[in-house]
Structure 1
Amino acid sequence: MTELSMRPATAATEPVTTETTSAQEIADLRRAVSGPVWDPGDVDVVTELAGFNLAPSHEPVAVVAATSAADVAATVRWARVRGIGVGVVATGHADFSHRGVVVISTKRLDRCQVDAAERTVTVGAGVKWARVLEAAAPHGLSAVTGSSSDVGVVGFTTGGGIGPLVRRFGYGCDRVRRMQVVTGDGQVREVSPTQDAELFNAVLGGKDAAGIVVEMTVELVEMTRFYGGSIFFDGADASAVMHAWRTWQLGLTENTTTSIAILRMPDMEAAPPPLRGRTVVQVRVAHLGPEIEGLEVVSPMRRVATPIVDMVAEMPAGAIDAVHCDPTEPMLAWATGAFVDTVDDDTIDALLAAAGPQHELPVIMVELRAIGGAGMRGTAGCLPRAPYLMGVIAPMVPPLVDVVPAVGHGIVDALAPWSPGTVPVNFASPQTIAARPGACWTAEERARLTEVSRRVDPDGVLGGRRLGLR
């Protein structure tokens, strides 16, 4: 048994068929593509499908390491003829498992080309945000990234793209100008707001339900520096800090994006010594403006309680990871979340009652992000929008496989009175989707996405089934 198959399962991509794929069929696949192809018993499968999240347990019928859009299209056609589903893996941050399907790895699609005159970057599906930030910086440009620059551009953006600067720059999907997409019928299509706009919007928010993005051109933003980072307070101050944050963030302009989280820090060397083994409250802030202005903006939160660690300072644009301080080493992780319409004192009290420091919970982080502003005005993509977002991240270690989803969903349920009932697709756990198919979209968005998915993927070989749309 390989290391990969021994990892705890979360949920599987449901195959169209469970028939055994023959050696001859795998040989046919090898002849159809230029990149490497491995069968399930090949040791290289473990390395190829390994990513940041170590929790998924993959059992593919074959793995294709695509080197071009043609490889992706040929693999989809091969799968479609045989009634086999198709899964996609890039940087491996998701917690979905792929079983009984052919898995396409897009890691080798690594084009990253900045057009400074047009203020755009064109990237392949294997490119992470860190590479984009590095390439854009010499031109005085930056990008609408996620909370971690280790995340892939395509995966982040097709899930909507909610980052540390969302109130100023909007969702990541609002910055997409064009995409090259392979659809479930095996065609390579160019899409944009003016070229098959229905498919364009279905992919942005629908992940791989309607197509596999192999290349994307994204608008960059003018930014060289920002004032931001994290302030950590002791868990004993959680109520005071969280209620103060709620009031403070209401008065901020769109130049400031902020969030707050309860963190249960592990007693490990990876955690900073002052925080190690403690439950803390983390205030995150990213302000676009001069340092002297940022100091004034953040000062009310610095006076609420005595910080354990204060890491907020002026930073270069490429240091955007310092806002959330996400883990940098691979881990067994599980995540869920929900959009939130309103955050008042009762909302904060409900969150503290469900997940406050007084509880011993198998949860790493529970957060609230203020994501309104420009994020609410965007129109691209097939996804809901709301002024707030809550997220839950937990360790998916073997003893907790059955416990973590119940605890995580219980915390989300505590905020149900203030939630529209939808969750960003990048925050939707396999268990969330299984329990609430279509929770990632409104009824209208779900219907529109399903219609497009059926048009371009008539046999349902792509991710629509995994996402509860087929």
Structure 2
Amino acid sequence: MSTPGAPTPDTTPSSDFDQAVEALARQVKGVVLTPGQEGYDAQRAGNQTGRTHRPAVLVGASGPADVQQAVVFAARHHLPVAVQGTGHALGAVAADGGVLINTSRMTGLRIDTRAATAWVAAGVSWDQVIHEAAPAGLAPLAGSAPGVGVVSYTLGGGLGLLSRRYGYAADHVRSIDVVTADGRLRHVTPASDPDLFWALRGGRDNFGVVTGLEIDLMPVPTLYGGGLFFDYASAREVLDTYLSWSAGMPEEMTSSLAVISFPDAPVLPPPLRGRHVVHVRIAYAADDLSPAKDLIAPLRALGPFNDTVRELPYAEVGTIHNDPPVPGSFESATALLGELGPDAAGALLDLVGPHAPVPHVVELRHLGGALARPARVPNAVGHRDAHYLINIVSRLERADLTDIQPAHEHLVQALAPWSTGGRALTFLNGRRDAEHVRSAYEAEDYRRLTELKAVHDPGNLFRLNHNIPPATPA
């Protein structure tokens, strides 16, 4: 008997398989590519250049019908399925063999200003939604980097710059179009299939290939936001102040603090080149923005060398974090934390900054507010009691992986006394071992996810991801 979720080798003779691929290409409106063909390398590339897919068959889907054909083909030939969307949406593990479905061609977008909703196809990135919604004074619950793909971000939870006011992006999904392991295209709503609707919002691509979402938009034409930059010499004072300050902020204030080691690169502004800085990111969203200036006064009193915080249109929200838009090779680690004080600040600063063994970007994101409340329609996004999220990112262009991973582990362990034991799914990056995946969910939610996986994907066709294996029969 095979183990549930274990790969099943394809035993189809080579010539028969080649003919099957040719037949698939005739059925697909997009493209079907195999290794060595023109366009294969471009289609398998993503924002994360440290992990690259090497699929046996790559399907560049033009729409849901192409996705269906690809899933049926994969199931027929006992090949696992991976999905690559737009922006940062590379799967948790690079597909080595199997079928890769690239959804970047699926760029449909409809804004309903009266209902304050958007229907978003699988290949759409947040910057497209932001641009189309802005004339109506509406805003999506996008992340800090507008180039991120909507679907993967949202189904992993979705932690962005309006989150403390409105909650996770996954909390504001109205319907989902998904191709399941049986090749069916389903329109899933809380009424039509509440279990699958619950699982997809948090379980991501473990339950199918999502081809589109209907999401809520928020009435946020402008916000008060930007960055406060401090020299690393004042890091302890800034971090202590930030922790006490953020704990007392209203829900309208979403913020984070990052310790950044900037390379000495010409692409950077001269004040940042080769410098270690503390960057406090501010996003205050409210009907009345006038209190915001007084709210951040304690941070401004610390004397930032650069201050970009101002009233700005939501369409410029990407300037707050100013994440690099170009692909790169990086490794990251993450943990969810409880209340933090001076001892936690000291433990963190002992391991970051100019004396760190490898250069990092280490960010603390303030949680709470609406993030702490259950979704109106329940979903699988858990650990809502966390106060902060820490994310550590190191670029492989600047250090070796053999140095980066131990440094990350050391930092996470140093903060273990304040850890909740959980992790945020969308920040796991390349980690896909069972313990890390389980830690992204509440224990009871994870058990329910495995049971639903056994219903909707008993053969674990969708396993090249942060995999949730199907529950084994009792």
- With the shorter chain as reference, the TM-score category is over 0.9
Post-superposition offset of 1:39: 0.6
**Aligned equivalent of 1:301, options 299, 302, 320:** 299
Cα displacement (A) at 1:291: 4.9
For the structure 1 residues 312 and 398, does the alpha-carbon distance in structure 2 shift closer, same or farther, using more than 3 Å as the test?
closer
Q: How many residues align?
A: 456
Contact 2:228 2:308 in 1 (8 A): yes
**Structure 2 counterpart of 1:403, which letter?**
D
- Candidates 360, 363, 374, aligned match of 1:367: 363
Contact 2:224 2:311 in 1 (8 A): yes
For residues 457 and 438 of structure 1, what CA distance do their matches in structure 2 show?
18
Indicate the residue corresponding to 1:350 in structure 2.
347
Q: Match for 2:373: what amino acid?
A: R
- Provide the C-alpha distance between the structure 1 equivalents of 2:395 and 2:341, rounded to a whole number of angstroms: 29
Residue number in structure 1 paired with 2:65: 70
Map of 1:31 onto structure 2: 26
State the AA in 2 paired with 1:319: E
Change (3 A) 1:19 1:368: farther
Q: How far apart in 1 are the matches of 2:465 and 2:274?
A: 40
Match in the other structure for 2:133 = 136
What's 2:447 paired with?
447
Shift of 1:399: 5.8
- 1:395 aligns with 395
Q: Is the 8 A contact 1:18 1:100 kept in 2?
A: no
* C-alpha distance in 2 between matches for 1:146 and 1:465: 21
Q: List structure 1 runs of 4+ shifted beyond 6 angstroms.
A: none
Q: Tell me if 1:407 matches 2:407.
A: yes
TM-fit CA distance, 1:436: 3.4
Match of 1:61 in 2: 56
Correspondence for 1:124: 121
Residues 159 and 426, structure 1, Cα contact 8 Å, conserved in 2: yes
Q: Which residue of 1 aligns with 2:77?
A: 82
How far apart are residue 465 of structure 1 and its match? 6.3
Correspondent of 1:376 among 372, 379, 385 = 372
Query: Are residues 465 and 252 of structure 1, via their aligned partners in 2, closer, same or farther at CA, if it must alter by over 3 Å?
Result: closer
**Alpha-carbon displacement from aligned partner over 1:163-221 (angstroms, at most 9, x marks no partner):** 01111011000110001011122111111222211111211111201121100000000
Rounded to whole Å, the distance in 2 between the matches of 1:382 and 1:46 is 35
Q: Which runs of 5+ in 1 are unaligned?
A: 1-12
Query: Which residue in the other structure is 2:324 paired with?
Result: 327
Q: Take 2:155 and 2:190, find their aligned partners in 1: how far apart are those partners?
A: 15
Distance change >3 Å, CA 88–CA 324, structure 1 → 2:
same
State the Cα deviation string for residues 36-64 of structure 1 (Å, max 9, x = none).
10011213111112222221122100100
Assess if the C-alpha contact under 8 Å between 1:53 and 1:92 holds in 2.
Answer: no
Task: In structure 2, list runs of 5 or more residues that go unmatched.
Answer: none
Q: Distance in 2 between matches of 1:54 and 1:428?
A: 16
Cα distance in structure 1, aligned partners of 2:250 and 2:437: 36
User: Partner letter of residue 248 of structure 2?
Assistant: G
Amino acid at match of 1:213: V
Query: When the two structures are superposed, what TM-score results if normalisation uses the length of structure 2?
Result: 0.92
Task: Quote the Cα distance in structure 2 between the aligned partners of 1:268 and 1:434.
Answer: 38
**1:51 matched residue in structure 2:** 46
How many angstroms apart in 1 are the aligned matches of 2:357 and 2:315? 34
Range that drifts further, 141-150 or 414-423 = 414-423
Which residue in the other structure is 1:4 paired with? none
1:51-450 alignment to 2 at 5 Å? 51-93=46-88, 94=90, 96-289=93-286, 290-304=288-302, 306-355=303-352, 357-379=353-375, 380-384=378-382, 385=384, 386-397=386-397, 400-431=400-431, 433=433, 436-450=436-450
SS in 2 for 1:174: helix
8 Å Cα contact 1:146-1:162 kept in structure 2: yes
Q: Distance in 2 between matches of 1:268 and 1:416?
A: 34
Distance (Å, rounded) in 2 between the aligned partners of 1:87 and 1:126: 15
For the structure 1 residues 79 and 440, does the alpha-carbon distance in structure 2 shift closer, same or farther, using more than 3 Å as the test?
A: same
- Code of the residue aligned with 1:168 in structure 2: it is R
The answer as to whether partners of 1:291 and 1:313 remain within 8 angstroms in 2 is: no
C-alpha contact (below 8 Å) 2:45/2:53 kept by paired residues: no
Task: Indicate if the aligned counterparts of 1:342 and 1:419 stay in contact, CA closer than 8 A.
Answer: no
User: TM-score scaled by structure 1?
Assistant: 0.92
Pair 1:17-2:9 in alignment: yes
- The percent identity for this pair of structures is 34
CA-to-aligned-CA distance 1:205-246 (integer Å, 9 cap, x gap): 112011211000000000110001111101111110000000
Q: Is the 8 A contact 2:255 2:365 kept in 1?
A: yes
Once the 2 structures are TM-superposed, how far is the Cα of residue 403 of structure 1 from its aligned partner?
2.4
Name the SS for the 2:242 alignment partner.
Answer: helix
458-467 or 414-423: bigger deviation: 458-467
2: CA distance between counterparts of 1:398 and 1:100?
30
Rounded Cα–Cα distance in structure 2 between residues aligned with 1:410 and 1:432: 19
User: In the aligned structure 1, how far is the partner of 2:131 from the partner of 2:8?
Assistant: 41
Question: What SS does the corresponding residue of 1:208 show, helix, strand or coil?
Answer: helix
Distance verdict in 2 for CA 1:115–1:437, change over 3 Å: closer
Code of the aligned partner of 1:160: G
Q: Deviations over 1:416-457 (max 9, x none)?
A: 222222211111133363663422212212111111112111
In structure 2, do the counterparts of structure 1 residues 371 and 398 end up closer, same or farther at CA, with 3 Å as the change threshold?
A: closer
Render the CA deviation track for 1:317-363: whole Å, top value 9, x for unaligned: 111112222112221122221111222222222211232x2423334
